[in-house]
Amino acid sequence: MKTHNFLVVITIVYAIGVGLIYFDRNQSLNQSYQLPQNTIPVYPVVPPGEHLTTYTPMYTSLAGEYEPLNIQCPIPMKDRVINGTGIQCVWSSIEMLGRWAEEPKLTNPPITSRLDCKSYSSPSLAAQRMIELQVRYKQEYGDKNRGLVLIRQAMSEGRGCLFGVPGHAMVLVHFDESANIVKWVDNSDRTLKVQTMNVGQFLSKWDSWVLVIYADNDIVPKKINMIRNPVFQMGIHDRNNPQGQYPRDYIPLPLR
């Protein structure tokens, strides 16, 4: 009899345990339950032939200029973005270009503040994020000839561009082949200065990746026009002839 009672008790305890497990599992299916969002993949998966960026330690450059004159893409200090985590060089570069382009999809909130943009990246992962954010962009990867075409176009328009070196991404702000001068900003440099190298050095380090940002409201051409032609045009009203007006470009005045 005691053995029988003991078996009954064990059976009841087992049934209660199974019921609790079942209840707990069902609770996880409740509509109020939400899976964690914006999980940061430590090592995102990329297509064959692509390479992820790696950790780049911060440093302080001794050479370089803060805001040099006569530069094709004069991104000011206020728009430059530091590589805060050491592994978000791609997102820092994209945000810098987004600030210069005044694209709110990249700056409000800042893309580097997003949990899914604090880690490593690659051309395909960057493209995926731009598509998700509905940001207009162009990029080349794997073909340096096509990449050079995009670089030349971006520099002539004053847009700047992201460029890759093995394991790292930075922003190109000047590419003058005739003068043999290349200028860039490294987001792992605490000073965020504009640094300089020659074309041969650039081509030997560059891994072929180029990415250019185009804002929906394309303000960059207007900025560049004002910088390269620092005059504004003022309409003149003839008091002797109230109905008439001189051409708006009659007297160009200096911006400052």
**153-189 pLDDT, tens per residue?**
999 999 999 999 999 999 999 999 999 999 999 999 9
Residue-range domain boundaries for the chain: 77-228
C-alpha separations of 12 from 5, 15, 22 in Å: 11, 5, 15
Cβ neighbours for 134, distance < 8 A, ≥ 6 positions apart: 105
- Whether 167 and 56 have beta carbons less than 8 Å apart is answered as yes
pLDDT in the model for residue 103 = 98
pLDDT in the model for residue 12 = 58
**Lowest pLDDT segment from 30-34, 144-148, 176-180, 228-232:** 30-34
Predicted confidence band of residue 199 (pLDDT cuts 50, 70, 90): very high
pLDDT in the model for residue 233 = 43
Does residue 149 have a pLDDT over 50? yes
Q: Which residue has the tokens 């962009």?
A: 137
pLDDT in the model for residue 18 = 44
The rounded percent of the chain whose pLDDT value lies above 90 is 68
Determine whether domain 77-228 maps to CATH 3.40.640.10. no
Q: Calculate the average pLDDT of the chain.
A: 83
pLDDT in the model for residue 47 = 81
pLDDT in the model for residue 35 = 35
pLDDT in the model for residue 140 = 97
Q: How far apart are CA 165 and CA 43, in angstroms?
A: 19
Does residue 60 have a pLDDT over 60? yes
pLDDT in the model for residue 77 = 97
Q: Which residue has the tokens 């003022």?
A: 234
**What is the C-alpha end-to-end distance of the chain, expressed in Å?**
105
State the average pLDDT over residues 240-247.
Answer: 52
pLDDT tens sequence across 10-49: 555 455 554 444 434 333 333 333 333 444 445 677 788 8
Amino acid making up residue 49: G
Angle (nearest 5°) at CA 106 between 103 and 110: 125
- Whether 121 and 138 have beta carbons less than 8 Å apart is answered as no
Neighbours of 14 (CB within 10 A): 10
pLDDT in the model for residue 244 = 52
Does residue 105 have a pLDDT over 80? yes
Does residue 110 have a pLDDT over 50? yes
State the average pLDDT over residues 181-201.
Answer: 98
State the average pLDDT over residues 210-239.
Answer: 80
Give the three-state DSSP class for 158.
Answer: coil
Does residue 143 have a pLDDT over 70? yes
